[in-house]
Amino acid sequence: MCGICGFTGDKNQAVLKRMTDVLYHRGPDEEGFFSDGFMNLGVRRLSIIDLDRGHQPIYDENKNICVVCNGEIYNSQVLRKELEKKGHIFSTDHSDIETIVHLYQEHGLNFMHKMNGMFAIALWDMDKKSLFLIRDRIGVKPLFYTVINGILIFGSEIKAILANPLYSKEMNYEAVYHYFTLKNIPSPLTAFKDIYELKPGEMLKFSEKRVSKNRWWRLNFSENPDYEEGFIKENIIRLLEDATRLRMVSDVPIGAYLSGGVDSSSVVAFMSGFSAKPVKTFSLGYADELKNKEADLYYARKVSKIFKTEHYEYIMSSRELVDGAEGVIEAFDQPFSGTISTYFLTKLIKEHVKVALTGDASDELFASYLSHRLAQPMHDFAESRNKFETYYSLQSGKSSDIKLIKELFDKTKGSEPKWRYRLGLFLDDEKDSFLTEKFKAESSGVSTFKIFEKQFQDLTATDPLNRVLEMEWNSQLPDQVLAFADFLSMAHSVEIRSPFLDYRLAEFAATIPGRFKINNGSVKDILKKSVEHLLPNDIVYRPKEGFVLPVFAWIEDQLEPYCRDVLSKNRLERHNFFKTEKIASILNDYYAGNKNNAGKIWNLMMFQLWWEKYFN
C-alpha cells in the first residue's frame, strides 16, 4: 500500500519531494522518485509484499515504462507465472506491482481486466509520451487530479495537489452545497475548485497536454430470475471464501476488524480456517454506558472465543472525538460527516498489524440500509395500495418504516429520485434557508435533487431493490463508505482489505434478485442463510447496529458546549456562509427536544472545522 503523486512537465525535485512528503502516512517505510523532463512521479511505500525488493517506481526490462501504484494485486503470482511463460523477465522476487508493467506490455490498455485487486495506478509510457491514471473497478483506492496551464497534477490525496505551488486554493461552492445533503462530496467534484476525483473503473489519459477519460469497468445489475436459493448460497460461500484467501496474502502480520455483526464475523471465520496462528481481531467500545453499543463488544468477544482469536479492544470517550476531529478532517481534506469509527479503532490496530480485513460493502451488495428496506414496498405502494397493505402489514415490517413509506409516498408519488433524495440530510430548500446570499450567489442554479435524478438514469437493474443498490453502488459506496475506510485507516498507515469488494463476488451478487436479499423484512437474508453454518444464529440474525460512533448521543449531552462553540456566531462570521440566527435556531431546537437535528448539527460542525483548517 502506498501514496502516489506526480505532475507533468519540467523536473522540479523540490516540489515533487514536497508533494510526496505530505503522503508520508500512506507509506512510512520508504520513498521513491522518477523524473525525465516530461514526467515527475513520487511514491511513499507501505511495505507489505516483497519487502526487500519491491521498491517503487517500478520499470519494465527496457525502462520504457514506469509505474507507481497505490494498492494490492491479489492474483499477481498467478499472473506472474503466465507472463514469465511468455518471456517476460522480472527484476523483483515477488512484487505484485511489477506485474502491472508486464501486463501493459502484453495486453496494452486492456491489462486492467486481468487484475483482481484494489489500485490507483500512474503509468508513464516514455515512448508514447503518455500518462495513464487508472482507478480500480470499485473505487477502493482514491486518485485526484487537476490541470493547470497544460500541466497535469495528481495524487492519492488532495493534500498532495495542494502542496504544488501551481495550484491556488479555492473552495468549490457547488460541491460543498451538495455536501450538506449527502454528508460527503460527490465525485468527480471535490471541495476544491478545479480538483477532481477519478471515478471507480475509470482511466484518464494525458498526452500532448490533452485529457481524455473512459470507463473501463461498470457493475451490471441485470438480475437472473431463474436463480434458486441453493445455487446462490453455494456461490456466495465459494466466492467469499476465495476472496478472503486472496486477501490474506501478505509478508507482514495481518488482522481483522470485528464488530460482532454477521459481515466481519464471517470474514473472521474464513480467516481462521486459512491461518495457522490465531487471527488478531480488533473491536471498538466506549467509556460511556451506551446500551445500544454494549452489544458490539459482547458479540465480538463471543466470535473471538469461538475462533480462538487474539482479541484486542479500544475504548474511546466523547473527549477523544473532540481531540480527533481535526485529524479526521485532515485525513479527508474535505468536509465529511459520515461514519468515522475507523479512525479511532485503527489507532489500536497499527500497534499490532499493517493489514486488516473488514466486512465493508456487504450492506451495499446484500441490502440492509433504510433506503434498501423502502425500495420494494415503495414500488408496491405506488403500484397498488391494497398490494402494499397485504404484503407490508405492521406485523411483517417495522412500524417506523411503514409510517415513513406512507409519508414519502404522499410527498413523492413513488418517484425513485424524489423519495431517495428526501432521505438526505438537508434538502435544497432547507439549505437555501440557512445559506447567505454570498454563498448562494456562488452556487446559483445548483440542485442536489438533480444529482439524484441523474443517478437513477441508465441503470441496468429492473428490480426495485437492485435499482436502489445500483444507484448507491455508483455513488454512496465509493464517495462515502470506501472513502472513510481508506482515508481513516491510511491516516494511521494501516491497509484495509474487504473480501466483499472482490469484483467476482460483486458481479455475482448484482445478478441476485432483490427478493433474496430482503425477504419478509429480513435484511441481507440470502447472505445470512449462506453463512449460517459458520456462526451461531444469535450473531447471524443479530439486529444491525453498524460500525458507527455514538456521536448523536454525545452531542445531546457531553458535547453541547463544544457544539455551541464550533457553531458560534463569532466563528461562523469568519466566512459569512451561514445565517447565524438560523444555525442558532437549529441548535436551540435540538436542545429543546427535536433530536432529528443531531445529524444536521454534526454536518455543519464538520464543515466549519474543515473550512477553518484549510481557509481560515
Query: Is the confidence at residue 355, as pLDDT, over 70?
Result: yes
Percent of the chain at pLDDT exceeding 90: 85
Average pLDDT on 311-339 reads 94
Band of the pLDDT at 318, cuts 50, 70, 90?
confident
Q: What pLDDT does 553 receive?
A: 81
Query: Is the confidence at residue 371, as pLDDT, over 90?
Result: yes
Average pLDDT on 80-98 reads 95
Average pLDDT on 45-72 reads 93
Distance of CA 526 to the CA centre of its chain: 24
Domains assigned to the chain: 2-215 (3.60.20.10), 229-365+475-540 (3.40.50.620), 550-616 (no CATH)
Q: How many CA atoms lie within 13 A of 473 on its CB side?
A: 30
Helix (H) / strand (E) element for 155: namely strand 151-155
Q: What pLDDT does 384 receive?
A: 75
Helix/strand/coil for 54: coil
Which of these ranges, 3-12, 43-52, 72-81, 222-231, has the smallest mean pLDDT?
Answer: 43-52
Q: What pLDDT does 395 receive?
A: 42
Average pLDDT on 216-232 reads 97
Q: What pLDDT does 552 receive?
A: 81
What is the C-alpha separation between 534 and 166, in angstroms, rounded? 55
Phi-psi region of 593 (alpha: psi -120 to 50; beta: other; left: phi over 0): left
- Residue 521: exposed, middle, or buried by beta-carbon count in 10 A (0-12, 13-18, 19+)? middle
Query: Is the confidence at residue 289, as pLDDT, over 70?
Result: no
Which of these ranges, 144-158, 176-190, 440-454, 547-561, has the smallest mean pLDDT?
Answer: 547-561
For residue 68, the cross-strand partners are 122
Query: Is the confidence at residue 545, as pLDDT, over 70?
Result: no
Average pLDDT, the chain: 94
Percent of the chain at pLDDT exceeding 70: 95
Q: What pLDDT does 394 receive?
A: 44
Band of the pLDDT at 50, cuts 50, 70, 90?
confident
**What's 238-276 look like in SS3?**
HHHHHHHHHCCCCCCCEEEECCCCHHHHHHHHHHHHHCC
Average pLDDT on 83-99 reads 95
* Contact yes or no for 255/350 (Cβ under 8 A): no
Helix (H) / strand (E) element for 302: namely helix 291-307
